Amino acid sequence: MSGTSAAQRPSAVPTLQIDNDRVKVTKWRFPPGAHTGWHRHGMDYVVVPMTSGTLLLETPDGEVHSSLTAGQSYTRLTGVEHNVVNANDYEFVFVEMELK
């Protein structure tokens, strides 16, 4: 997927589930090849993959392939910058919880 320009990629589809004074929870659905667009996280966050597979992370330091397992959570701190791309030939889904 890294050879595909961002302009040719479909967009990942976010569905806001909760947004209150403590947490923002978004379910992200990525069709094959879909991406989030370049962004910087303004809050610490936890991701719970609902699908197993590989995501391509385009970062300021280059491309990183990240293998994720359904149900195996991970966390990152405020300030992460990247574009997340579904590198699989099937839909990839995760839930992101941003901590306010």
pLDDT at 1: 46
Distance of CA 51 to the CA centre of its chain: 12
pLDDT, position 28: 98
Q: Residue with structure tokens 């806001």?
A: 16
CA–CA distance, 83 with 28 (Å, rounded to integer)? 13
Distance CA 97, CA 100 (A): 10
Token pair of 97 as six digits: 């919880």
Residue by residue, pLDDT tens for the chain (100 residues) are: 445 566 789 999 999 999 999 999 999 999 999 999 999 999 999 999 999 999 999 999 999 999 999 999 999 999 999 999 999 999 999 999 999 9
- As its CATH architecture, domain 6-99 has Sandwich (2.60)
What residue segments make up the domains of the chain, in order of their start? 6-99
